[in-house]
Amino acid sequence: MKKCLLVFLLASSGLAPAMVEIPAFTAYSTPDPNKGVNRAKDGNLTQWEKDTSLSWYGHIANKGKLLVSLATVGKAGGTLKLTVSSQAKPAQSWKLDGKEEGESVAFGSVKIAEPGYYRFTLEGRGKLPDLRSLNLDGPASEGAHFSKVERRNSASIHLGYEVPSQAKEEVEWFYLEVTPKTEPLWSYYMATGWHRGYFGMQVNSPTERRIIFSVWDSGNEAIDRGKVHDDNRVKLLAKGPKTNAGDFGNEGTGGHSHLVYPWKLGDTVHFLMRAQAEGDVTIYTGWFRDSKKKDWELVSSFRAPKDGKYLHGLYSFNENFGGQNGQERRVCEFGNGWIKTHSGKWLPLNKAAFTHDGHGKEERLDRSAGTIGKRFYLANGGFVEDTNKTAVTKAYEKMELNGPEGKHPADAELEKLPK
């Protein structure tokens, strides 16, 4: 009786950690992230195919014994094997056989030697069960952090550039160089964003990459561009010979343009854009080139109504725009940023603040920014911790470069840009 009372007192006082339940449908599936399972709205994972392995990732905050089990929907059946691996030290792993216990499968325990991110990979043979949750218990489970929402992409992260005070409200040109250090599918490394649009590079499929330039309409329509009155619609004025132009919606509406371009991992892509304010209208134009070419290519030029402003709210971002492969690491460098004022003065962009979306506030903490030499970088995904000495992770934390990395485009270049 005294022993039972002691256990009750420990649990009620918070000394006994509560079991951590990770919804089954948050698992990443391989080899195809879009197939092999059905993810139900109640958090269950059903229709699990035999050739599909499932992985959950999370941060274990404490050392010690970690008990691992699965909650199933009905009796388990089949043969289940679980591998627990350290993300920091891939060689550190444990292979565990599952033991059916009614509507659960017990895998026993592992000893966590050091805190960090860990991967839990499940493989099965025979008749595979529907799954409710991956469960962690024991001393090492206390303080464990896993994303428990269905969204499986990494957090979207941003650099907000501090415009030098000399520029005031007349930033006419924005120049930036971008170097991708990783290239997972569904990556968007956005270079020169501003209050009315964005301009950058994407990995759209295993065989296709794009340069993309888009400008938002006026008004408040968020979904359907067909509902936008003509007075509020952005109009295409010009585009390059390889550029595809059209509409976009569902994130605001506007004019979209892109060209398929085989940019390479590790190469530096140069982005240049201009704002020409005329009364209550602004014309926005984007050009790009890679480091192996001297000539700029026009992407497109859009006329934006109800504007009449130069560039402001300058930013870059790193986004995992597909929702299925946030377990892959994305790193991109942003450097040699410059602005040119309407009065003709070039000024470097040496200061930036790090921000992230709401997904990065509580669910995905594997997001960071920092400096490498005279470049900023943004890193997200992968379920790893950033070990760079300059890394920052708090929203609105500021960073500063020790001067620009190189030179801005010569004024003579600007006069020769394709129209």
pLDDT tens-digit readout, 161-205: 999 998 888 999 999 999 999 999 999 999 999 999 999 999 999
Both 234 and 382 in one domain: the answer is yes
Both 130 and 192 in one domain: the answer is no
Q: Does position 55 have pLDDT exceeding 70, yes or no?
A: yes
Residue 151 lies in a domain: no
CATH number for 277: 2.60.120
Domain ends where: 141, 172, 199?
141
Both tokens of residue 311?
């560039």
Both 174 and 319 in one domain: the answer is yes
102-115: average pLDDT: 95
The length of the chain in residues reads: 419
Q: Do 334 and 318 form a contact (C-beta atoms < 8 A)?
A: no
Residue 201 lies in a domain: yes
Both 348 and 233 in one domain: the answer is yes
- Cα separation, 411 vs 162, in Å, equals 23
Q: Lowest-confidence range among 54-68, 87-101, 128-142, 191-205?
A: 87-101
Tell me the pLDDT band of 4, cut-offs 50, 70 and 90. very low
Residue 178 lies in a domain: yes
Both 273 and 365 in one domain: the answer is yes
Both 79 and 128 in one domain: the answer is yes
- Percentage of the chain modeled with pLDDT above 90: 89
Q: How many domains does the chain have?
A: 2
Residue with tokens 């489970």: 141
pLDDT at res. 12: 45
Q: Where in the sequence is the domain holding 251, given as residue range(s)?
A: 157-415
Cβ neighbours for 360, distance < 8 A, ≥ 6 positions apart: 155, 156, 157, 367, 380
Rg (CA), the chain: 25
Q: Does position 1 have pLDDT exceeding 80, yes or no?
A: no
Both 383 and 272 in one domain: the answer is yes
CATH number for 35: 2.60.120.260
Residue 410 lies in a domain: yes
Residue 330 lies in a domain: yes
156-165: average pLDDT: 97
Q: Does position 7 have pLDDT exceeding 70, yes or no?
A: no
- Cα separation, 326 vs 362, in Å, equals 15
Both 350 and 387 in one domain: the answer is yes
Cβ neighbours for 416, distance < 8 A, ≥ 6 positions apart: none
Both 111 and 196 in one domain: the answer is no
pLDDT at res. 169: 81
- Of 312, 308, 310, 311, residue with least CA distance to 280: 308
- Cα separation, 65 vs 54, in Å, equals 23
Q: What is the mean pLDDT of the chain?
A: 94
Q: Do 376 and 399 form a contact (C-beta atoms < 8 A)?
A: yes
Residue 1 lies in a domain: no
Both tokens of residue 41?
């709205």
Q: Do 383 and 389 form a contact (C-beta atoms < 8 A)?
A: no
Task: Give the single-character DSSP code of 227.
Answer: G
Q: Do 270 and 289 form a contact (C-beta atoms < 8 A)?
A: yes
Domain ends where: 95, 116, 141?
141
Task: Give the single-character DSSP code of 154.
Answer: P
Tell me the pLDDT band of 8, cut-offs 50, 70 and 90. very low
Q: Does position 299 have pLDDT exceeding 60, yes or no?
A: yes
- Cα separation, 347 vs 350, in Å, equals 9
Both 187 and 128 in one domain: the answer is no
CA atoms within 13 A on the CB side of 19: 13
Q: Does position 352 have pLDDT exceeding 50, yes or no?
A: yes
pLDDT tens sequence across 205-244: 999 999 999 999 999 999 999 999 999 999 999 999 999 9
pLDDT at res. 16: 60
